[in-house]
Amino acid sequence: MKNIKTTLIMILMVTIIFSGISVNAEEAKYGGTLNFPLAYGNPGTLDPVWANRIEAEIVTSAIFDRLVKMNVETLSPEPAIAKSWEISDDGLEYIFYLNNDIKFHNGDKLTAHDVKFSYERVMDPEVSQITDLFNSIKGSEKYQEGESEHISGIEVIDDYTLKITLDRLDISFLNTVGKRGSEIVPKDLINEVGDEFSNILVGSGPFKFVEFIQGYEIKLKAFDDYFAGRPYLDELVFKIMEEAAARVPAFLTEQIDFDLVFSAQLEQYQSNPKYEDCFVKVPELWTRHIAFNTEVFDDKRVRQAFNYAVDKELVVEKIVNGKAFVATGWLPKSSPGFNPELEGYQYNPEKATRLMKEAGYSVENPFEVEILGTTSPDWGIPIVEAISPYLEEVGFKIKPVLMDGASIGPLENKGDFDATIDSGGGRIEPVDYLSAYFWSEIAPDAGRSTRYVNHEFDKKIEKAYKTPDFKKRMVLVREAEKILVEDPPVWFFNYSQAIGIVQPWVHGVVKNPTELLLQPYDTIWLDESSPRK
């Protein structure tokens, strides 16, 4: 392999600065059970090739490991199964050097053969629901079409060395091998048990699967032979509690050790002096918005008017209880691509009225629009109802339509909607954060539900994907976002601020901007005041 840049990161960094929050081994104590709520609902299944939802990842991240993991402070990859890696100058070849002391929960050693097997399993259309995850790896298309038995771009050099060759530059590849779906599973065991694997869930992570009682709870126990050190907790129990009305009393009566706080519950917790120092707050990589179907909102002036019409600062302050940051564009404050100089749309009802009039609409002849949304108090129909008076003053007629998320998705895929209110994002690479929703190369049923097409935006995104230098890529990102703001496919509402609350005896919870419920469970510990210690 020629012209290689070597990235060596000592595994020690993982345990010391994984989250940017130190864990003092002299203070941390072993033992106890953490009761952790699954605030987004029942995950259904936990096999990584089927469980492509955050509800499942919150659990599977404790059971399985990946080649790399993300440092939640720097949003950069750190060692996990791979202790180090090398990247060729052209960015097309990766060599991963694996730790040679990693065991699966059944005692089998984890090798490069398991990594190759896991990635091919993800790309197998007969097994997986996430077959686009490793599309940039050479030979993945032929493998998926049944023209080859293996992906040619994944080569086992020896038991603890893996070479991956891409067929095109993929600036997000290290993020990909550290994200949901890239979990490493045991080859020999799956070949032996087949589909039964979803019921036994053997990984190499810090916790072993015990049982899953659908709709109620998922139990895990500490894996004593975890390669990065035994977790402090003896047991980790995920309580399936989607309704805040159930979580709040459970937290106040000490039945759960953490709660994800929505705006409606924030004041109740803040007024309790017991929890004054127990909040965990972080700007998240999520953008709340109303997505326009641009085949319905086909006049840019109408989309601009929608953005000028609402006093977002007042809505965030009064309706969301200040638990968010007013959005200027699509990339949030926590993104490496955030542009603090982007002005966005200021509240200007006069300008909104003028734009609507130019487009042929007025209070007497309104632009009628149905907005689909869920019950979410922070990004659902309650927000639509709060902003409707603003919009109707400038020439819109708003009809909020309450639906569950599972029903909205198919309508978005078919284009059978006017607009939807939602929260989107979660991607670390800024180009991905923009392109996943707005690049015309993305199919409408794969995320670009707005049907947005802007050729100037496309050109910036395409050039950015071919630009390995981060600073140069961010110049293109900012140019692309400016185009997006001037020709808006969405109402830019706010950037989420996640707020969690922990019981006073819980230590080691970190500020994860990708998702606050994704925690390094192996470094969380409980002091002696815990009722489950």
CA distance 487 to 529: 55
Q: Are 69 and 85 in contact (CB under 8 A)?
A: no
The total of other beta-carbon atoms located within 10 Å of residue 238's CB is 24
- Give dist(CA 220, CA 238) in Å, integer: 8
The helices-and-strands tally (H runs, E runs) of the chain is 17, 20
Q: How confident is the model at residue 32, as a pLDDT?
A: 98
Secondary structure, 3-state, 161-230: EEEEEECCCCCCHHHHCCCCCCCCCCHHHHHHHHHHHHHHCCCCCCEEEEEEECCCEEEEEECCCCCCCC
> How confident is the model at residue 486, as a pLDDT?
98
Q: Is the dihedral of CA 199, 205, 211, 215 positive or negative?
A: negative
Handedness of CA 248, 252, 253, 259 (dihedral sign): positive
Which residue in the block uniquely carries the two structure tokens 């007042």? 314
pLDDT in tens, the chain (533 residues): 433 333 333 333 333 333 333 344 458 999 999 999 999 888 888 999 987 778 899 999 999 999 999 998 888 899 999 999 999 999 999 999 999 999 999 999 999 999 999 999 999 999 998 898 999 999 999 999 999 999 999 999 999 999 999 999 999 999 999 988 999 999 999 999 999 999 999 999 999 999 999 999 999 999 999 999 999 999 999 999 988 899 999 999 999 999 999 888 888 899 999 999 999 999 999 999 999 999 999 999 999 999 999 999 999 999 998 889 999 999 999 999 999 999 999 999 999 999 999 999 999 999 999 999 998 888 899 999 999 999 999 999 999 999 988 789 899 989 999 999 999 888 899 999 999 999 999 989 888 999 999 999 999 999 999 998 999 999 999 999 999 999 999 999 999 899 999 999 999 999 999 899 999 999 999 999 999 99
- Choose among 218, 211, 200: nearest CA to 41: 218
pTM: 0.82
Residues 6+ apart with CB under 8 A from 349: 308, 309, 390, 393, 394
Equal CATH topology for 4-237+503-526 and 283-496: no
- Per-domain residue ranges of the chain: 4-237+503-526, 283-496
Tokens describing residue 86: 């090398």
Q: Which pLDDT score, from 0 to 100, does residue 406 have? A: 75
pLDDT for 4 equals: 38
CATH number assigned to the domain with residue range 4-237+503-526, chosen from the 4 options 3.40.50.880, 3.40.190.10, 3.20.20.100, 1.10.220.10? 3.40.190.10
Handedness of CA 289, 338, 75, 118 (dihedral sign): positive
Query: Measured between alpha carbons, how far apart are the two ends of the chain, in Å?
Result: 52
* C-alpha separations of 144 from 21, 106, 287, 341, 444 in Å: 42, 30, 33, 44, 22
| Residue-level pLDDT at 23 | 42
- What is the separation of C-alpha 137 from the centre of its chain, rounded to a whole number of angstroms? 22
Of the candidate CATH numbers 3.40.50.300, 3.10.105.10, 3.40.630.30, 3.30.70.20, the domain formed by 283-496 belongs to: 3.10.105.10
User: 350, exposed or middle or buried, with CB in 10 Å at 0-12, 13-18, 19+?
Assistant: exposed
* Separation between Cα atoms, residue 320 and residue 187, nearest integer Å: 47
Q: Quick check: 490 and 450 in contact, CB under 8 A?
A: yes
